Amino acid sequence: MRELILQKLKILTDAAKYDVSCSTSGVNRTNNRKIGNASASGICHSWSADGRCISLLKILMTNYCIFDCEYCVNKASNDIQRASFSSEEIAELTIEFYRRNYIEGLFLSSAIEKNPNHTMEKIIKALLILRNQYGFSGYIHVKAIPGADPILIKQAGLLADRMSVNIELPSEESLKLLAPQKHKKNLFLPMKQIKQGIEETTLDKKHFKSTPNFVPAGQSTQMIIGASPDNDLTIIKNTQNLYKHFNLKRVYFSAYVPVNKGQNLPSLQLAPPLVREHRLYQADWLLRFYKFEADELLNANQPNFDLEVDPKMMWALNHIQHFPIEINQASYEELLRVPGIGTKSAYRIINQRRCSRIRVEDLQKIGVVYKRAKYFVTCNGTYEGLKEMDAQMIREKLVPKKTFEQLSLF
């Protein structure tokens, strides 16, 4: 029995590694007869709202799937090892890991076994056992299965801390191409229901303190990058719309790892687009905290991010006519657009100016990355950038040309 559970654990934690809706850190280090064990048991790390790093058991309920999405390792037509946990097994595993102090919470996702309602019911049953039978009060993040009955989504929302619906592909065209059994409308319905549930709960709590929590940690989603021909403009516009319409906590991006052959898919030899994924996360940060709009960052003439410079630097070089700005006069919003100045350093500049004028030597103490910012600002009338405000020359200073090239062995 124990061997069977371990075999299922190995299969379903390995299958869960492609979901990045919670941050992950997989390792393969062996025990080597010393202290500790880092076997592939599906433990990943995430961060709570107050910044604490917490360990989660990251696992699929099942990798049996009725869908045949071209990009997915668990697609129905793939000849892979399959396994399915019962709700009782998931609950017992979580508690056993928790009692051994391996984890503080659970991240439970699933392929769609038999039908969406059947899968959602199994997930809910596992949560009910954890919350009611074991009295588990730790963090739980579960997937809302598109197509499941709204009553089931609501029931899961009352038991979980966070829920997510992975839209996976950024556009309707990509869904038709790689996942024709999925429809954008069906993906958005549970997201809309979760958003409304959170808003209603917040409103009710103002009048009735005993109102039960509904998805108190909010909802998130994930998009796969590089499996479909969608450009960065499409992805970042969709991201902006998801934040505006569904009030998401996070949109995660997952660089596509080629696992399947297919005429519509990238080659199996192609490396995952990790730099592109990183640029999209930087752009996501600009949307959420720096008051940028998607249309400002990219347009039809330049639909993809420059992989050599970050999106904020790219915007600044494309709008060089707005610079330099004077540190002692610029508004908070203008400061946020200067490469090398973050939200905290912009706030400190505004505060410091109330006491005295800021000098060049003050900027680094405030937290400004001056070696980047100096091309775009004057401080007390002093400009320490280049003689000319030339975007190409500034770019060459910031991204020196490579003097050598790593040869490939293949």
Categorize the per-residue pLDDT at 406 as very low, low, confident or very high, splitting at 50, 70 and 90: low
Burial degree of 73 (CB within 10 A; 0-12, 13-18, 19+): middle
Using DSSP, state whether 252 is helix, strand or coil.
strand
Beta bridge partners of 225: 255
* For residues 116-134, average pLDDT: 95
Reported as a single tens digit per residue, the pLDDT across 325-359 is 999 999 999 999 999 999 999 999 999 999 999 99
Categorize the per-residue pLDDT at 195 as very low, low, confident or very high, splitting at 50, 70 and 90: very high
Reported as a single tens digit per residue, the pLDDT across 16-54 is 777 765 544 334 445 555 554 545 556 777 766 666 777
Q: Which region among 119-123, 252-256, 404-408 has the lowest average model confidence (pLDDT)? A: 404-408
Measured CA to CA, the distance from residue 410 to residue 163 in angstroms comes to 43
CB 385 within 8 A of CB 338: no
Instruction: Give the single-character DSSP code of 272.
Output: P
Torsion of CA 280, 282, 284, 287, to 10 degrees: -130
Torsion of CA 70, 74, 78, 82, to 10 degrees: -170
Q: Which two tokens stand for residue 273?
A: 């687009």
Q: Residue holding tokens 């409308």?
A: 185
* For residues 388-395, average pLDDT: 90
Categorize the per-residue pLDDT at 1 as very low, low, confident or very high, splitting at 50, 70 and 90: low
Q: Is the pLDDT of residue 6 over 90?
A: no
Categorize the per-residue pLDDT at 400 as very low, low, confident or very high, splitting at 50, 70 and 90: confident
Measured CA to CA, the distance from residue 264 to residue 62 in angstroms comes to 26
Burial degree of 36 (CB within 10 A; 0-12, 13-18, 19+): exposed
More confident residue, 313 or 42: 313
Categorize the per-residue pLDDT at 11 as very low, low, confident or very high, splitting at 50, 70 and 90: confident
* For residues 152-171, average pLDDT: 92
Measured CA to CA, the distance from residue 82 to residue 58 in angstroms comes to 17
Q: Is the pLDDT of residue 286 over 90?
A: yes
| Side-chain-side CA neighbours of residue 385 (13 Å) | 25
Reported as a single tens digit per residue, the pLDDT across 245-277 is 999 999 999 999 888 888 889 988 888 999 999
Residue 295: per-residue pLDDT: 94
Residue 407: per-residue pLDDT: 64
* For residues 173-185, average pLDDT: 89
Residue 410: per-residue pLDDT: 54
Whole-angstrom Cα Rg for the chain: 24
More confident residue, 409 or 77: 77
Omega within 30 of 0 (cis) for the link into 303: no
Strand 325-326 and strand 43-47: the pairing is: unpaired
Using DSSP, state whether 341 is helix, strand or coil.
coil
What does each C-alpha distance from 264 to 19, 176, 274, 327, 397 come to in angstroms?
21, 11, 20, 50, 40
Most confident of 68-77, 151-160, 384-393: 151-160
Q: Is the pLDDT of residue 101 over 90?
A: no
pTM above 0.85, yes or no: yes
Residue 52: per-residue pLDDT: 73
Measured CA to CA, the distance from residue 124 to residue 144 in angstroms comes to 10
What does each C-alpha distance from 391 to 303, 306, 386 come to in angstroms?
19, 14, 10
Instruction: Give the single-character DSSP code of 299.
Output: B
State what percent of residues in the chain have pLDDT above 70: 90
Q: Which two tokens stand for residue 271?
A: 């490396």
Q: Residue holding tokens 């954008």?
A: 184
* For residues 125-150, average pLDDT: 93
Using DSSP, state whether 219 is helix, strand or coil.
strand
Categorize the per-residue pLDDT at 301 as very low, low, confident or very high, splitting at 50, 70 and 90: very high
Residue 194: per-residue pLDDT: 95
* For residues 319-328, average pLDDT: 94
Q: Estimate the crossing angle of helix 150-159 against helix 116-128, to 10 degrees.
A: 20
Q: Mean pLDDT over all residues of the chain?
A: 88
State what percent of residues in the chain have pLDDT above 90: 64
Measured CA to CA, the distance from residue 383 to residue 403 in angstroms comes to 30
